[in-house]
Amino acid sequence: MRVLGFDAVNKLESFLSPVTLSASVHVNVRLVDGHSRCAGRVEVLHRGQWGTVCHNDWDLADAAVVCRELDCGEPVDALGDAHFGPGSGPIWLSYLWCAGSESTVEKCGSGGWEKHKSCDHSKDAGVICSEVRLVGGSRCSGRLEILHDQSWVSVCDTAFDQQDAEVVCRELDCGAPVQVLGEDASGKGDAQMWTQEIQCRGNESQIHLCPTSPSHENNCSHEHNIVLLCTDIINVRLVNGTSRCAGRVEVLHRGQWGTVCGAGWDLADAAVVCRELDCGEPVDALGDAQFGLGLRPVLMKIAICTGSESTLKKCGSIELSFHDECLDKSAQVICSEVRLVGGSRCSGRLEILDDQTWMSVCAAAFDQQDAEVVCRELDCGAPVQVLGEDAFGKGDAQMWTQEIQCRGNESQIHLCPTSPSHENNCSDDNGVDLVCAG
């Protein structure tokens, strides 16, 4: 189980007191009343009896563990309100809290066995897993495999087209297909070959909802595997701010943008958003309406991030009953758009984000007042030394030759006026290296 930072633990404990399921208890999990073994109502086995899981705090991080334990691919949706019908028998678990990286449900925290308070079977949790995966590349690229009859099988390129690719990429939350390759770009693998012809229209939510028919092609061998490249889109954005790195937080899930609740929102959560957007360090994490009111739906309740996650969707979250208040207090973030590279958090080669590109800053266009703003913005105290040399490596960023004209009291470097620099000696050897006290 991933170890939480101090702030994340405090935030979680302010809403619930997690109890880790005993490692000595073998917990089995299954999905029932869905269209396959990889979709349905979540049930766990305890003391020889199957029981349900309450949907309190149920989210994609929890669903990811269920899908992994069942070898069912990626989580497509984490559902509540007995989406697959009410179960029967005991409600074994409530307030299940998984970081998302656990191998089994038994390694997640929870509120304890049978401690479900006001839950009944109308609030049973459900999961839909993808039953499709891309292997040998990245999260959104690789050799296509589909789960068929409890086995992962490769797909023949003659039985797959652009419409099929659109469904797979959407199902994996990876945007649109960039390229469909009928070659061995990601390795042959050892999966059997599935020769069914997939006949998607392109608007289905899952590949298993597409019609299939036996393929009439006979040249389906491992040299004809499908290798699929999707766009790997960013599933978070900041809106109504001064730039793409400041604003109200919205997340994308299954093609729909929605609000993130501002309750409990903190710098650890903001750090994940800034990292995912490549926007530098978090300057502020706000839970008010500075960048406007949130819009329905509320897709993420109280985010529980350690601060080290690569994407916001990999953070845990816990449920709230007052969603309307989330719209008034939606999560807001201001990222730095400035960073120090090649040293520590508070020292290194200065780079500024300009038009979605990180640029080095010319030493001739930077002075003590500018340094004071950068160090303050990064929460690093006062500047100790401004170096116009290669102390932290040259890097490969382009040179930004604008002259920064800070007064020294601005909260962010991007709030300082700029003007074209009249200095002509700005090369890669004349970048700013900055050491702050922090």
Model pLDDT, residue 116: 65
- Choose the most confident range, by mean pLDDT, from 90-94, 229-233, 254-258, 266-270: 266-270
Model pLDDT, residue 428: 57
CB 377 within 8 A of CB 343: no
Mean pLDDT value across residues 388-392: 70
Specify the DSSP class assigned to residue 294: -
Model pLDDT, residue 25: 40
Mean pLDDT value across residues 36-45: 93
Q: Which of 301, 319, 282, 304 is nearest to 100 (CA)?
A: 304
Model pLDDT, residue 3: 37
CA–CA distances in Å: residue 398 to residues 221, 350, 389: 47, 12, 16
Vertex 386, ends 385 and 391: CA angle to 5°?
95
Task: Check pLDDT > 80 for residue 242.
Answer: yes
Q: How many CB atoms lie within 10 A of CB 345?
A: 13
Q: Which of 410, 397, 327 is nearest to 357 (CA)?
A: 397
CA–CA distances in Å: residue 36 to residues 40, 197, 208: 8, 20, 10
Q: How many CB atoms lie within 10 A of CB 172?
A: 21
- Choose the most confident range, by mean pLDDT, from 39-43, 300-304, 308-312, 400-404: 39-43
Q: Which of 74, 80, 75 is nearest to 95 (CA)?
A: 80
Model pLDDT, residue 431: 83
Mean pLDDT value across residues 43-51: 90
Q: How confident is the model at residue 9 (pLDDT cuts 50, 70, 90)?
A: very low
Strand ranges (DSSP E) for 382-438? Answer: 383-387, 398-400, 402-404, 418-420, 433-436
Which DSSP string do the residues of 85-100 spell out, in sequence order? ----S-EEESS-B--S
Task: Check pLDDT > 90 for residue 289.
Answer: no
Q: How far apart are CA 291 and CA 307, in angstroms?
A: 23
* Stated length of the chain: 438
Q: How confident is the model at residue 14 (pLDDT cuts 50, 70, 90)?
A: very low
Indicate the pTM of the whole model: 0.66
Q: How far apart are CA 47 and CA 294, in angstroms?
A: 44
Contacts of 116 (CB under 8 A, 6+ apart): 54, 56, 91, 93, 94
CB 373 within 8 A of CB 406: yes
Report, in this order, helix, strand and coil percent for the chain, each rounded to 5. Answer: 20, 35, 45
Mean per-residue pLDDT over the chain, rounded: 81
Decide: residue 278, CB within 10 A, 0-12 exposed, 13-18 middle, 19+ buried.
middle
Backbone φ, ψ for residue 23 (5° rounding): -65, -20
Q: How far apart are CA 49 and CA 59, in angstroms?
A: 24
Provide the β-strand partners of residue 256.
Answer: 253
Domains of the chain plus CATH, in order, are: 6-129 (3.10.250.10), 132-230 (3.10.250.10), 236-335 (3.10.250.10), 338-436 (3.10.250.10)
Q: How far apart are CA 67 and CA 65, in angstroms?
A: 5
- Choose the most confident range, by mean pLDDT, from 27-36, 78-87, 144-153: 78-87
Model pLDDT, residue 47: 85
Which carries the bigger pLDDT value, residue 219 or residue 374? 374
Q: Give the side-chain half-sphere CA count within 13 A for 159.
A: 26
Torsion of CA 416, 420, 425, 429, to 10 degrees: 40
Which carries the bigger pLDDT value, residue 173 or residue 32? 32
CA–CA distances in Å: residue 261 to residues 81, 248, 320: 20, 10, 9
CB 206 within 8 A of CB 76: yes
Q: How confident is the model at residue 119 (pLDDT cuts 50, 70, 90)?
A: confident
Q: How confident is the model at residue 19 (pLDDT cuts 50, 70, 90)?
A: very low
Q: Structure tokens of 285?
A: 């994490």
Which DSSP string do the residues of 254-286 spell out, in sequence order? TTEEEEEB-TT--HHHHHHHHHHTT--SEEEEE
At 196-218, the pLDDT tens digits run 888 999 888 888 889 988 765 55
Model pLDDT, residue 69: 92
- Which amino acid, one-letter code, is at 143? R
Q: How far apart are CA 432 and CA 389, in angstroms?
A: 7
Helix (H, G, I), strand (E, B) or coil at 107: helix
Task: Check pLDDT > 70 for residue 22.
Answer: no
